[in-house]
Amino acid sequence: MLKTFRTSDRTLMVLFTIFVLAAPLIMAPLGAGYPDLMQRFAIYGIFAIGFNILFGLTGYLSFGHAAFLGVGSYSAVWMLKLLSINIVPAIIFAVVVSGLFALLIGFISLRRSGIYFSILTLAFAQMSYNLAYSVLTPITNGETGLQLDLTDPRILDTVNETSQVASPSFLGLEMGDTAVVQFLGMDLQFNVGFYISALILIGMFYLSLRIFRSPFGMILRAVKSNQTRLNYTGFNSRPYTLTAFVISGMYAGLAGALLVCMDPLAGADRMQWTASGEVVLMTIMGGAGTLIGPVLGAGIIKYFENIFSRINESVVEGWFSALPDGVTDFLTAVVSPFLGSGWHISLGLIFMLVVIFLPGGLVEGASRIMNLVRRLSQTRKTTSSPSVARPLGDDESPEEPPPGSVNTRES
Amino acid sequence: MGILEVKGVNKRFGGLLALDDVNLSIQQNTVHAIIGPNGAGKSTLLNCFIGKLLPDSGTVKFDNSSLIGLKPFQINQAGISRVFQTPEVFADLSILENVMIPAFAHRDGAFHLAPFRSLAKETAIREQAEKILQDVGLVDERHQLASAMSRGNKRRLEMAMCLVQQPKLLLLDEPTAGMARADTNNTIDLLKSINEAHNITFVVIEHDMHVVFSLADRISVLSQGHVIVEDHPSNIKGHPKVQEAYLGTAETQ
């Protein structure tokens, strides 16, 4: 009777896959259809999905996840330098190393909860950041950042005599390779690096869906809800939270590895606390504890960072140029502080609005709108033809929803 | 030999001797009530059973193995479930999930790593949880969030969470505290029916004499950290030591 995979989950998975794979088409009209930015959407989406497994499910707010991003980046560059320019060993190595690193930090930090846990993770991340700049310079190459070199040994790659620094590749396809297709007057850019990140993003999304729908995920939600009760229920909660921490650390390491596969330069900046804060913003903005929210949040924040920041005063003036001079000047003066270098102001305002009015993030907003539309269409249906009963097939699940579906914020 | 044997337990908080050489033997399949005036040490004693407090000296043995120094989850895994004074449930989870979690703990142990197993495939656990919810009368609202329940229903849910683990011993810390009389009577009926249907030993810590005398097979009276009387309910009511503990010493003419 019970389906192993719920219909709604399958729909979600299919829609997500289509949306991600069609991103070059969807993003082009928004001015975001270029490879560099789309790669970042996918990679930070992975980062946020992983963060959400820890924060969204267990409620443990880590303020140091950028450390794993950085560790993943450094490990991946080292693999690209020492072993092969192929991205696969680099990614695997980065995930393993960041997982071990997360095991260590999680083991210590998870002895505390709440604000103390957050501070511990923050301290570890800042420590990693400063170590990368100072003591660990032989490994991290300090301020210059770690990058590929002509003298890299790359023991698995036989041909190595070119005068150009190789760029990371997969099965002979370089990450920077892009096919440009003309479509309705737009240049659609289909980029190898983006599609590799996108496929990994889809896989990681599926993995997170499976975790959300597993007994393990349910126990993690119980940690968030009432950890004391969970301990008196016979569960040792520490290994569960530690597992969630390590999984999310590995997601971050994967994201870090992908970042350097697209652009083989690892710098310590990636580990700074602002980067840790960014993933928190992404998750909360999209909707912590929801499946799709973190990806949404990551997309929006990266969009702001890259698109809004480019709209300078002259562009704004162009928008209002049809209006009388005085009005143009006035509107430009009002609008431009929120764009260009002031994009943080608009992002901050949106974040405030989301947190105040939609504590469940943008996903909550979307589900509220859906409910409203459904209610409106239902009332119209009943007022126009009150005698006609609703067709039975309309509601697709006459069978009872399985556990995990009650949480309205999960969608 | 009882299922729970407490021998010579002492616990001191600074200058206060909260438990003073407490000895208890709780027999299998009985309802054993521990009563006493405020500050007698009832809660302290309970906390020594569940791993929240470490007694200064003495032994607490359950099924012939010591409970001293065990963590709460280990004590639960040994077969002791606990009902809290204020019902503690997983408020953000559905009623059904609330019962499935202890069922998983009972089946899989304190830590079992299978992050990708599908919850929808766990039909056995689900059916088990639904059956227990049927028993306590919550099966119809099983998909609602636990946070929306009344206090009386939370108590029922908590009982279901304990029962699904088929514990050997159930600790109840003032199960009717703060309840209206009707709710109290419902809870008494619920506890009675559970006690008859399952072979579970109950240890009830209670203030309300009505509850104690309608449930207990045996009563221990605690006063100033010491067990002053242990007897059948019928012998407790008129016992001079008990009256003394509750009402103070009568002025002798």
In tens, the pLDDT along A231-242 reads 999 999 999 999
Query: How far is it, in rounded angstroms, from Cα A287 to Cα A290?
Result: 6
Residue A366 tokens, joined: 């979307």
- A-chain CB neighbours of B78 within 8 Å are none
What pLDDT was estimated at residue A390?
A: 41
DSSP string, A88-106: HHHHHHHHHHHHHHHHHHH
Q: Between A301 and A28, name the one with better pLDDT.
A: A301
Residues A337 and A197 in one domain: no
For residue A67, pLDDT over 90 is answered with yes
List strands edge to edge, sheet with B4-13: B16-26, B4-13, B57-62, B65-66
Could you tell me which chain B residue has the CA closest to the CA of A210? B116
Task: Determine, yes or no, domain membership for A293.
Answer: no
* Count of C-beta atoms within a 10 Å radius of residue B122: 22
The pLDDT of residue A69: 95
- Same domain, yes or no, for A16 and A135? yes
pLDDT for res A392:
38
Q: Kindly list the structural domains of chain B, giving each domain's residue range(s) and its CATH number in brackets, ordered by start.
A: 4-247 (3.40.50.300)
A399 part of a folded domain: no
Residue A63's Cβ-side half-sphere holds a number of Cα atoms within 13 Å equal to: 14
B9: its two tokens: 């337990």
Average pLDDT, chain A: 85
Which of B113, B117, B123 minimises the CB distance to A2? B123
Residues of chain A positioned with their CB less than 8 A from the CB of B85 = none
Q: Are strands B31-35 and B201-205 parallel, antiparallel or unpaired?
A: parallel
CA A1 to the chain's CA centroid: 35
Asked if residues A192 and A177 have their Cβ atoms less than 8 Å apart, the reply is yes
More confident residue, A315 or A108: A108
Has residue A347 been placed in a domain? yes
| A359 shares a domain with A216 | no
**Structure tokens of B59?**
């032994």
pLDDT band at A408 (very low <50, low <70, confident <90, very high): very low
B31-35 and B218-223 beta bridge pairing: parallel
User: Which residues in chain A touch residue B116, judged by CB atoms under 8 angstroms apart?
Assistant: 207, 210-211, 214, 216
Same domain, A138 and A200: yes
pLDDT at position B250, please?
56
CB–CB contact B119 A402 (8 Å): yes
pLDDT at A15 > cutoff 90: yes
Q: What is the pLDDT, as a whole number, of residue A293? A: 93
Residue A391, in any domain of the structure: no
**Chain A from 230 to 259: CB within 8 A of any B CB:** 230-237, 239-240, 243, 247
* A31 located within any domain: yes
Per-residue confidence (pLDDT) for residue A326, from 0 to 100: 81
Chain B interface includes A4 (CB < 8 A): yes
- Residue at a domain's end among A271, A294, A324: A271
Residue A364's identity, in one-letter code, is E
Asked whether the predicted pLDDT for residue A141 surpasses 90, the reply is: no
A136 lies in the same domain as A249 = yes
Spell out which chain B residues touch chain A, with contact meaning CB-CB distance below 8 angstroms: 50, 71-73, 76-77, 82, 84, 88-94, 96-97, 100-102, 104-106, 108, 110-111, 113-123, 125-126, 143-145, 161, 165
Which residues in chain A have their CB less than 8 angstroms from residue B50's CB?
232
Residues A205 and A97 in one domain: yes
Do A46 and A115 share a domain, yes or no? yes
Return the closest-CA partner of residue B47 out of B21, B84, B87, B93. Answer: B84
How many residues are given for chain A? 411
- pTM greater than 0.90 (yes/no): no
Between CA A236 and CA A239 the distance in angstroms is: 7
Degrees (nearest 5) of the Cα angle A105, A109, A111?
135
In a shared domain, residues A239 and A186? yes
Query: Taking the C-alpha atoms of A25, A26, A32 and A37 in order, what is their torsion angle to the nearest 10 degrees?
Result: -80
The domain total for chain A is 2
Angle between helices A66-82 and A114-133 (to 10 degrees): 30
Q: Do B110 and A234 touch (CB under 8 A)?
A: yes
Say whether pLDDT at A395 is over 50: no
CA of B211, closest CA in chain A: separation in Å? Answer: 25
Contact residues on chain B for A231, CB-CB shorter than 8 A: 71-73, 76
CB A190 within 8 A of CB A179: yes
Among A53, A232, A236, A397, the strongest candidate for a mutation testing the B interface, having the largest count of B CBs within 10 A, is: A232
Considering chain A, what percentage of its residues have pLDDT values greater than 90? 48
Helices (H), A263-292: 273-286
Which residue in B81, B88, B90 has the most chain A C-beta atoms within 10 A of its own C-beta, making it the best mutation to test that interface? Answer: B90
CB distance A226–B88 less than 8 Å? Answer: yes
CB A262 within 8 A of CB A41: no
pLDDT digits (tens, 9 = 90+) for A207-217: 999 999 999 99
- pLDDT surpasses 80 at A166: no
Same domain, A261 and A318: no
DSSP H or E segment with residue B21: strand B16-26
Q: Within chain B, which residues score under 70 in pLDDT?
A: 248-253
Phi, psi of A298 (to 5 degrees): -60, -45
As a whole number of angstroms, the distance between CA B159 and CA B171 comes to 11
A339 three-class SS: coil
Task: Give the per-residue pLDDT at A162.
Answer: 65
A254 and A140 in a single domain? The answer is: yes
pLDDT > 70 fraction of chain A, expressed in percent and rounded: 90
Instruction: List the domain range (segments joined by +) for residue A324.
Output: 313-384
Residue type, B29: N
* Domain identity same for A248 and A124: yes
pLDDT average, residue stretch A261-281: 90
**A33 in helix, strand or coil?**
coil
A400 interfacial to chain B (CB closer than 8 Å)? yes
pLDDT of residue A104: 96
The verdict on a CB contact (< 8 Å) between A233 and B76 is: yes
> Which residue's structure tokens are 């943008």?
A362
Mean pLDDT of A301-317: 83
Residue A242 within a domain: yes
Q: What integer pLDDT is reported at residue B85 of this predicted model?
A: 82
How much is the average pLDDT of A377-382? 77
- Is A372 part of any domain? yes
For the segment A16-56, what is each residue's pLDDT rounded down to a tens digit? 999 999 988 888 888 878 888 999 999 999 999 999 999 99
Residues A326 and A266 in one domain: no
> φ, ψ for residue A158 (rounded to 5)?
-80, -50
